Amino acid sequence: MKDARILAWVLADPSRAAQLRPHQWTAMLTIAQAERLLGTLAHRLAGLEVPEAAARVLHRARRSAETDRRQALWEAEMARRALAPLGLPVLLLKGTAVLAAGMDAGAGRLVGDLDILVPRDRMEAAEAALLSAGWEWVKADAYDDAYYRNHMHELPPLIHRARDRMIDVHHTILPLTARARPDASALIADAVDLGNGMKVLCPEDMVIHAVLHLLADGDLAGGLRNLWDIDRMLREFAEAEGFWARLLARSRHHKVTRYVSRALRLSHHIFETPVDRYLAWQGRRGDLFYAGRLLARNGWGQETATLLRLAFYVRSHWIRMPPLMLARHLFTKWRKGHQPIR
């Protein structure tokens, strides 16, 4: 098998693992590790009969994910304590939100940084509170720092000096220079209280954020994991009456319907997600390129389809900033010796 389809195929229906031969197991486990989906796969395969060597690998991944979960939730608690004096509840985003809310997408999921959302007019206060609670600037140069502050949707990353964990403080969910401009105040106004001083986005916004993170902000590297989040969220949220109608309305409100629509089609194509057919056909075509990019990894864990990846890398900049600004940015980065892709 030349791409990551074998992993998607088993994630969608774990009983299929019974048909795998040893070299297919090896490829699937390696790809899952490279796509940061091994813990997820371990959870999906829990309780099923698997070869002993595979069970060992999966056991290790479950342990890893459990440690990660504990650290991620502790980090969220640390941020809560740091921001509580400001009267700011911690609005969790991405992986930590999924874990804190106990969602299906969190089972076995690895979490890197802590991402939180803060109203734009409280950013300075939040920054000061975090700095005094032990977070520090990651060493960055003046250009990067100015770039973050002028054009991005988040502060330059902060890292905690004792715990060595990173926090990203966002004030919205896409760069200010991106084509799409979601309604940040609506995200905050409709957030769901978890009852422990923390909040998460409402279900529709959580899906929309995952979609934008995958399709409107970046080059889709590691995107299979993000698409898996979307699959799990859609399946879980769709159990509530009227979810698809609310998702459509919310997508229109944020003016991001075509991204949501494409994500639904990709999720259906790769993970067999049942999706709302009306909402799924709102966008433009070209899905095969996206699917190809998401699955561009071979059984040795190597990235494949170099040209396609390069195209998505170029696209990631194109959608993130206007042409003149992009030219200036790339020139600055090139002078610093930045290499986009191996």
Partner 1 sequence: MMRAFSVQVGPFGFRVGSAWPQPIRALERLYADYPKPADGIPDFTVRLEPVRAVRRFIRPSVAIRGDFMLPDAVPTSLAHGLLAAEMAMNLQVAMGERRFLLLHAASVERDGKVLLMTGESGSGKSTLSALLGEKGWRFMGDEFALIDPETGLAFPFPRPVSLKNAAVAEMLRHVAPERLGPEMVGTPKGDIRHLKPPVEAIRRMSEPGKPALLLFPRYGLPRDIRPVPASEAFVRLTQASTNYTMLGERGFEALTNLVQGIPGRAIDYPDTATALALVDQLWADPA
Q: Which residues bind partner 1 (CB under 8 A)?
A: 22-23, 25-26, 29-30, 33-34, 51-54, 56-57, 59-60, 63-64, 67, 70, 300-302, 342
**Residue 138 Cβ, how far from partner 1 at the closest point, in Å?**
14
Nearer to partner 1 by C-beta: 54 or 169? 54
CA distance 79 to 90: 7
CA distance 272 to 222: 19
Residues 6+ apart with CB under 8 A from 38: 29, 32, 57, 58, 61, 64, 108
| Cβ count within 10 A of residue 238 | 16
How far CA 222 is from CA of 4, 36, 110, 309, in Å, comes to: 12, 8, 12, 11
Nearer to partner 1 by C-beta: 29 or 152? 29
**Residue 341 Cβ, how far from partner 1 at the closest point, in Å?**
10
Nearer to partner 1 by C-beta: 7 or 34? 34
Amino acid present at 142:
A
Asked whether the beta carbons of 305 and 284 are under 8 A apart, the reply is: no
**Residue 12 Cβ, how far from partner 1 at the closest point, in Å?**
21
Nearer to partner 1 by C-beta: 34 or 294? 34
Tell me which H or E stretch contains 75.
Answer: helix 52-83
Amino acid present at 138:
V
Nearer to partner 1 by C-beta: 74 or 331? 74
**Residue 23 Cβ, how far from partner 1 at the closest point, in Å?**
7
**Residue 239 Cβ, how far from partner 1 at the closest point, in Å?**
34
Asked whether the beta carbons of 8 and 295 are under 8 A apart, the reply is: yes
**Residue 57 Cβ, how far from partner 1 at the closest point, in Å?**
6
| DSSP classification of residue 340 | -
Amino acid present at 10:
V
Nearer to partner 1 by C-beta: 128 or 341? 341
Nearer to partner 1 by C-beta: 144 or 272? 144
CA distance 83 to 139: 23
**Residue 21 Cβ, how far from partner 1 at the closest point, in Å?**
8
